[in-house]
Amino acid sequence: MVKSGVLLVRWVVARLLASCNDQSAELFPYFTRFDGMKLLAKFSYLGSICALLFGCGGQPSGDVLSTVPAAGVLTYKGKPLEFHQVIFMSEGKRPAAGASDSDGKFTLGTNEVGDGAPPGEYEVAVTYVGPPSTNPAEGMTEFTTPPPPKIKIDRKYADSAKSGLTVTVPSGGSSDLKIELN
């Protein structure tokens, strides 16, 4: 596909350069004053064709990382911390994130929801996001403020570098990760 696309682009460029004569005035009558403008108009047309051919592939833009299962419980002074986002951050790695349910349980995702996290050491950030909405338009055309959290946590937990929370995701994965806030 790419090779045929390159050949097509070469052919189009050759045709555009070869046709820079008075015939182009018929296609682009408002650019007839300068030959440079004719060429610019033709290359703009070429750019549009290239964007359509190569820019609309729909392929993922990032690498799909290898992950292991990563889930656990988020607590505050021993009690489940509900409806908080848990973000695992590590230098040079894509973050993994998940949201705690009403029992404080969370499952991390890196490439997609719930697919886990790459093994390794992580600094953790925790922020309140509120309960999931039952409104299908929520987040698309409607935006409502979530109710206040039942337990208010210190703002330092929103920044992984300042939270003081670290977790290791083992190479075999874990469904028993524990994050305890004090």
Domain extents for the chain?
Answer: 2-54, 70-181
Smallest Cα–Cα separation from 126: which of 170, 77, 81?
A: 81
CA-based max dimension of the chain: 81
Mean pLDDT value across the chain = 81
**Residue 87 confidence (pLDDT) above 60:** yes
Q: Determine the pLDDT at residue 79.
A: 95
Segment 135-140 mean pLDDT: 85
**Topology classification of domain 70-181:** Immunoglobulin-like (2.60.40)
**Res 84: pLDDT:** 97
pLDDT > 80? residue 105: yes
Q: Is 88 exposed, middle or buried (CB count within 10 Å of its CB: 0-12, 13-18, 19+)?
A: buried
Q: Answer whether 0.75 is exceeded by the pTM.
A: no
**How buried is residue 126: exposed, middle or buried, by Cβ count under 10 Å (0-12/13-18/19+)?**
buried
Q: Flag the least confident range among 51-55, 99-103, 124-128.
A: 51-55
CA angle 124, 174, 74 (to 5 degrees): 45
CB within 8 A of 55, min separation 6: which ones?
Answer: none
Supply 140's token pair.
């698309």
pLDDT in the model for residue 134: 87
Q: Torsions phi, psi of 166, nearest 5?
A: -130, 145
- Is a pLDDT exceeding 60 seen at residue 151? yes
